[in-house]
Chains A and B, each alone.
Chain A
Amino acid sequence: MTLSNLPLLSMLIWTPILGGIWVLIAGDRQEETVKYFSLAVSIITFVFSIMLYCQFDISYSGMQFVEETEWISAFNIKYHLGVDGIALPLILLTTFTTILVILASWEVIEKRISYYMCAFLILTGLMNAVFIALDVILFYVFWEAMLIPMFLIIGIWGGPNRVYATIKFFLYTFLGSVFMLVAFLYLYSVAGSFNIEALHDVPLSLSAQKLIFIAFFLAFAVKIPMWPVHTWLPDAHVEAPTGGSVVLAAIMLKMGGYGFLRFSLPITPDASLFFSDAMIVLSLIAIVYIGFVALVQEDMKKLIAYSSISHMGFVTLGFFIPFAIVAATGSDSGAIMGMEGAMMQMISHGFISAAMFLCVGVMYDRLHSRMIKDYGGVVNSMPYFAAFMMLFVLANSGLPGTSGFVGEFLVILSSFKASFWIAFTAALTLILGAAYSLWMYKRVIFGDVTKEDVAELKDINSREGFILFMLAIVVIMFGVWPAPIFDVMHVTVEELIKHVLQSKIL
């Protein structure tokens, strides 16, 4: 077996999962071994994803690295994997984030470190698998199985109200997903196949498409999350340990977006057209209303959670704006920009929200408070940290030169083609985002030091510095040079838009 025909996709799934199982068996007795081993596994997984990136053919829109074997032959369910331009950036995001999460919990997690590492490693494998699976049942198995480690992560290492938060998280996402399962089963009864690519081509009546769209919507809108099914997110984010928040915000939310791209749009294009106005309105509500909600939060994690929902509004806006553009102008020019902007927004938000949660984590580890009022004047005792956080806060508010700008800008630009008012409303986020991010920053970092414990804060150590430095590089790099991501996804997105704008009614 040469380097070029390794089963990379399977390795991306099973390396972290098997590593996680080993960690669990090793147990808490060898704490240091467990940590270094987990880090090694996560780095190896990241290397695999880089190998995947290097061998990826950016001129081909279909699935690459396809692996296909029988799994449940009684029902023709296959172990069928493959990546395209949509999945690849998300896989890179997942594997990169895992390294940071493991580093971030190095000294912080005191109880059951092996469980913690095991849960995160298995979670990584499952998340990779969700982006890779090409059989809907395989996809569903990974999609649901992912809930188990996350449920435990929030429940075991979470804050005081963790039980409520984790059960709410589980039931909410479970509720959305089971309807998706019914939709998959219905599609099977029509198409006779569980293959995602085959489902893309199956003709469906509009009424069936609408019901399927709603079922998918329940699954993906809860996950991403869209207003008004977002309420699990602030609870889960606040109570989760830092690592859990990072994974939730950086990757799990992206699965909702991925679901829209992979399932809702191509399988039910006519229903997507039918519901596109409603989706755009919901996205705008999320962007503006949730932006205001974020403004009044007193808990930093809650504020970032709401800002995530608001940013995800851009993602759904970008996904559904092509329909509005076609309706308004009759051509699809600019549509691809909106969708690519949305993809870029997903990737960029992955890095920025991870960075923001890690920043809060750094402060929380020192003072054990997430309340804005417990801080003030942190810059005096933690100048390096304040500098890093400044960058991330600006990126969060969409400053040009950071990756946060690229996605938002493209989506707004493309919205202009559809309607001035959609673009105008969406652009309000530039004000709101800056307001809640900078105002929080001002209250936490600047001002006089009024609390004794704030004055005694120690600045970040080299481990924390390294994590934030890595993220800072990525955020700036994709801000000034986003081409690597656009190149990868361009052909796939182009193909997707063509497919989506074609009716598949019988």
Chain B
Amino acid sequence: MNADLILAIPEITLFALACLVLIVDAFNKDPLHSLTYWVTQATLLITLVLVLNNFPTDVAYAFNNGFISDAMSATLKAFMCGITFFVFLYSYEYLKEQRSLKGEYFVLGLFAVLGMMIMASAASLLSVYLGLELLSLSLYAMVAMQRDSESASEAAMKYFILGALASGMLLYGISMIYGLTGHLQLASIAEAASSDSINRSYLVFGMIFMIIGIAFKLGAAPFHMWVPDVYQGAPTSVTLFISTAPKLAAFAMAMRVLVDGLFPLISDWQSILMILAVLSMGLGNIIAIAQTNIKRMLAYSTIAHVGFLFLGLIAGTGTGFSGSMFYIISYALMSMGAFGMIILLSRNSFEAEMLDDFKGLSDRSPWFAFIMLCLMFSMAGVPPFLGFWSKWFVLKELVASGFVTLAAVAVVFSIIGAYYYLRIVKLMYFDKADSMTAIKASKQMRMVLSVNGLLILLLGLAPNALMALCLSALAG
């Protein structure tokens, strides 16, 4: 078989199976779409197994240097599939409960995963863009899926328009870089950029537009406007999806463009990212305090977390990038749990999206209050939970690279952030419940959420394996 195709076996399989899911769903009259669901989950597992089976021991290129297969791409792909698998477990329960189950949700989700995987393996700006658009278009449609919901339509519209704008910016930056260097391959761009023949300021000009594109996709301030509206407006199952796996893809994109492609310009993008990081941490953490809607609050918390994610990139070393990768993976796990909790508390036609819906949860369900406690303390960065280690990791690399002041600024913002996470704990444990309605969630849902919460605690007690994984993924 063609060597190019072998490297892309997981993607090709995923694509073929996603098409199969589309067909299965078209001929399946079951209102619960259970066959679609199970085929989707099987697809993700098969892809996961293929990714792990073909785990690259060396860097290899395919498709005229447009596709790269290395440890980072494979690790991220494995997590994308695994996390999406969990996301669909949650989503299926939610959509069933809300009676808005559509087969397209899973099909679009699979295509989004395909887009993410292409982004993770992008070795040329063209494949970066290709993957990004495949992901984004699927997400726009997923947000808009509840046609009758006003807020969802509004969110989708906003997402689409701003997303298109960001894509335009990115494309403009790509065209600048292409015009200057004559290359689309990231490795060749890096080579050209490090030679003195190209005017650096023009390169930086092009780079800024690309960074805007990346910042938009990650949701970093000041390109964060879409995040709160989309998180709040979209159905919780979609918010859950947007806030997890696509963040890994956006991180991959940042790594590919900034590290693989524009590493010679590191001193320039470091200072740009520094501004983005401080703005995101500041704005995200401060505005989150004022929220009463938990989905919106978590949206601002995402913005703050993205700021932290940038810190590892700013460190500019291999271990620093590993720190960012560790951060984004842990964030995806925590965010999944938090939105999963909202899904757990929601009943048919009732969305537990206000902070007050968490009042007195420890009386209603001590176990899930405990899980949420773990998630919130983890997000606040309190040990012994996973979130502490992710902050610790990026801060450590930041300090090692000599950015001690920036590290001090970051920890100040994380204290501000601690306040609104504590408030959730306060609502759950110190306040009386308005109603003592029992939680009516399926066994499956309870299981998944418990596993998710305990994972945060266990990985916090023994973070070594995940750290070693991230270190080896970016050892090069």
Contact = CB atoms under 8 A, between A and B. Distances in A.
Q: Are both chains from one complex?
A: yes
Q: Which 9 pairs between the two chains have the least Cβ-Cβ distance?
A: A178-B411, A141-B383, A185-B399, A74-B467, A72-B464, A155-B430, A189-B400, A74-B468, A185-B396
Interface of A: 71-75, 137, 140-142, 144-145, 147-148, 151-152, 155-156, 162-163, 166-167, 170-171, 174-175, 178-179, 181-182, 185-186, 188-189
B467 A178 contact: no
A148 B383 CA distance: 9
B414 interface: yes
13 contacts: A71-B464, A73-B464, A74-B464, A74-B467, A75-B396, A145-B383, A155-B425, A156-B430, A167-B423, A167-B426, A185-B395, A185-B396, A186-B399
Given A141-B383, A167-B426, A181-B395, 19 more contacts: A72-B464, A74-B467, A75-B396, A137-B392, A142-B383, A144-B388, A145-B384, A147-B382, A148-B382, A155-B429, A163-B426, A166-B426, A167-B422, A167-B423, A170-B422, A178-B411, A178-B412, A179-B408, A182-B399
A174 B463 contact: no
B202 interface: no
Given A141-B388, A148-B377, A171 B382 contact: no
Interface residues of B, number: 30
B interface majority secondary structure: helix
Interface in B410-426: 411-412, 414-415, 418-419, 422-423, 425-426
Contact of B392 (A152, A155, A181): A181
Nearest to B400: A189
Given A145-B383, A163-B426, A174 B418 contact: yes
Nearest to B370: A24
B430 to A, nearest CB: 5
B415 A175 contact: yes
A171 B415 contact: yes
Contacts of B399: 182, 185-186, 188-189
B408 A182 contact: yes
B430 A179 contact: no
B221 interface: no
A151 B424 CA distance: 13
Interface in B243-289: none
A167 B419 contact: yes
B263 to A, nearest CB: 22
A139 to B, nearest CB: 11
Contacts of B141: none
A447 B471 CA distance: 72
B411 A171 contact: no
A73 B418 CA distance: 29
A144 B383 contact: yes
Contacts of A167: 419, 422-423, 426
B23 interface: no
B6 interface: no
Contacts of A147: 382
B225 interface: no
A417 B418 CA distance: 46
Interface of B: 377, 382-384, 388, 392, 395-396, 399-400, 404, 407-408, 411-412, 414-415, 418-419, 422-423, 425-426, 429-430, 463-464, 467-468, 471
Contact of A186 (B392, B404, B467, B471): B404
Given A144-B382, A189-B399, A151 B422 contact: yes
A209 B250 CA distance: 40
A181 B392 CA distance: 8
Contacts of A75: 396, 467
A155 B395 CA distance: 31
A155 B414 contact: no
Contact of B396 (A71, A151, A179, A188): A188
A164 to B, nearest CB: 10
Contact of B467 (A72, A148, A166, A185): A72
Given A167-B426, A185-B399, A186-B399, A145 B415 contact: no
A170 B430 CA distance: 15
B312 to A, nearest CB: 13
Nearest to B414: A178
Contacts of A170: 418, 422
Contacts of A137: 392
B418 A171 contact: yes
Nearest to A215: B408
A147 B422 CA distance: 12
A439 B143 CA distance: 68
A151 B425 contact: yes
A163 B411 contact: no
A135 to B, nearest CB: 13
B330 to A, nearest CB: 14
A85 to B, nearest CB: 28
Contact of B429 (A156, A175, A179, A188): A156
A293 to B, nearest CB: 27
B451 to A, nearest CB: 18
A119 to B, nearest CB: 11
A175 B412 CA distance: 7
A74 B395 contact: no
Given A147-B382, A163-B426, A171-B418, A185 B464 contact: no
Contact of B411 (A74, A156, A181, A188): A181
Contact of A182 (B377, B407, B464): B407
A156 B400 CA distance: 41
Given A73-B464, A155-B430, A189-B399, A141 B419 contact: no
B12 to A, nearest CB: 34
Nearest to A158: B430
B351 to A, nearest CB: 26
Nearest to A186: B399
A222 B414 CA distance: 18
A163 B407 contact: no
Contacts of A156: 429-430
A170 B395 CA distance: 21
Contacts of B423: 167
Given A148-B377, A171-B418, A182 B383 contact: no
A93 B399 CA distance: 37
A468 B401 CA distance: 55
